[in-house]
Chain A
């Protein structure tokens, strides 16, 4: 897929996020929309994966450590053909395939997430397994910015560097907001790039909505040897829906029917 196509695809993914959350009447749009461009690049350009064979041993692994942002993951999985799109409209319903936080019933989900801070550790485990088995798959792990306040993340950061997990790439969706407010107000992270450097990671800082910057970073990551990489993606919470952008309320509130209509208009292809 070329850049223009990826941009179009990202728009489509954003529409699916709005539609599924409006139907579910609960869920997390803000951090799903901020991660959309990165997720689109991963699933439609960067990662080796096969929806027809979700357990293909050589697949690249993806883990959504910030599990509450699963709507964007479900959207790219459905778009890739892992399960019928109709499942998206039953998100968060009793008995449905798609849970409010990801679990292993969903084809494409490797390990459940939702309790924050565990995903980078899970990804370190996947990275170690890949090295043991002499496989050349890569492991991608999406972290939230509020999430990295969890101590477990830094244990994993230490281990990733210690075990020289150069097949591991973390992505920090740095949208600057968490549920109680701006990250720097709740529990400041800065200087965040320096922290990861100090822990022994190769750090890339990019605009997380610029498709060519995203693709470029993922290509550069593949060249890094002997240590893990993190892409710190500066993003906008609620990206591309005017009334959601940088609005804390939309961290964990679904759009109403009326709001969804406006959002879908803003996200239409015309």
Chain B
């Protein structure tokens, strides 16, 4: 469950980068004047030639990351979550994700646990900003060890990945399952409430679960470490077997894990009588607007067919 051992995820990140650097000379690391805080400085100390500090210029760092990746490098680009996902969003979308570049955006200082620095530095929108981009994988590790697993897994996955880390020390969860991108797991079993959670809130959910047991309320706590691609199987399975659902995340309730899951839940609640018409996790393309509306299923006909389909059920 929860051990007394607390770790900085970013310490683990820095150490894991060094590990990766030793294994693979194609790994390069970029930072934007926060290498001490993000711990990419650990990598710099071991491999100064493969570390590039871009100064306070996140847009430049992200687009340069795409350039390095286009030449075969596995690029880790780090700064605070606010700047990685906010300031440089266009670069992450257009230069990295649209081209499917092998860039791992590993951002630290996400969420409210940034603490004293306050609102300008507390990214509460970063999961939303990253999961909305096609081709992007989004991972929110819950503790130190899972950070290492996530970084190692991201390094071998071809393509862009966003990993969200905190600033503060996180308690270590002892009963985690083997980490696999896109595969969530249950930390506890309980038939009353299912708690879907990620990141820092995983341990909060476990504390709550232990308290609730005393009142005779049993909870399933599910660690949804990968926000994208979402493990829809586990959501269907656990949600169907419980009386209620709580989703908790250290992020805005708009656009994060909650929104990702709610889509699934409304499908379950309305017994597949909810249909989403919109662009499904794809980039656009050139063409006559009429042709594109057809290709992307955005025509009146698509609404009509959806309605018929729903009523058949």
Contact = CB atoms under 8 A, between A and B. Distances in A.
Interface stretch (B56-64, B126-134, B140-148, B187-195): B56-64
B217 interface: no
Given A118-B95, A123-B67, A155 B49 contact: no
A129 B68 CA distance: 5
Given A111-B70, A126-B71, A129-B73, A121 B99 contact: no
B136 to A, nearest CB: 15
B286 A111 contact: no
Given A94-B286, A111-B99, A152-B91, A130 B60 contact: no
B52 A128 contact: yes
B158 to A, nearest CB: 13
Contact of B66 (A92, A95, A101, A122): A122
Contacts, number: 133
Interface in A145-165: 151-152, 155-156, 158-159, 162-163
A103 B67 contact: no
Contacts of B99: 103-104, 111-112
A124 interface: yes
Contact of A126 (B54, B67, B94, B287): B67
Indicate the size class of the contact surface on chain B. 35 or more
B287 A125 contact: no
A93 B57 CA distance: 37
Contacts of A127: 67
B95 A112 contact: yes
B295 A125 contact: no
Interface majority SS (helix, strand, loop, mixed), chain B: helix
Contact of B72 (A92, A129, A155): A129
Interface residues of A, number: 44
Interface in B72-102: 72-73, 90-91, 93-95, 98-101
Nearest to B100: A104
B292 interface: yes
A91 B65 CA distance: 29
A111 B67 contact: yes
Contacts of A112: 94-95, 98-99
B288 interface: yes
Contacts of B28: 128-129, 132
Contact of A159 (B50, B60, B62, B98): B60
Given A95-B287, A99-B286, A132-B50, A122 B63 contact: yes
B160 to A, nearest CB: 12
B285 interface: yes
Interface string B277-294: 000000001111001100
A-B pairs with lowest CB-CB distance, top 4 = A125-B67, A94-B287, A121-B63, A129-B71
Interface of B: 28, 49-50, 52, 54-55, 57, 59-73, 90-91, 93-95, 98-101, 285-288, 291-292, 295
Interface of A: 57, 61, 63, 91-96, 98-101, 103-104, 110-115, 117-119, 121-130, 132-133, 151-152, 155-156, 158-159, 162-163
Given A111-B70, A125-B64, A125-B67, 13 more contacts: A94-B285, A94-B291, A94-B292, A99-B286, A112-B94, A117-B59, A118-B94, A122-B64, A122-B70, A133-B71, A152-B59, A156-B60, A156-B63
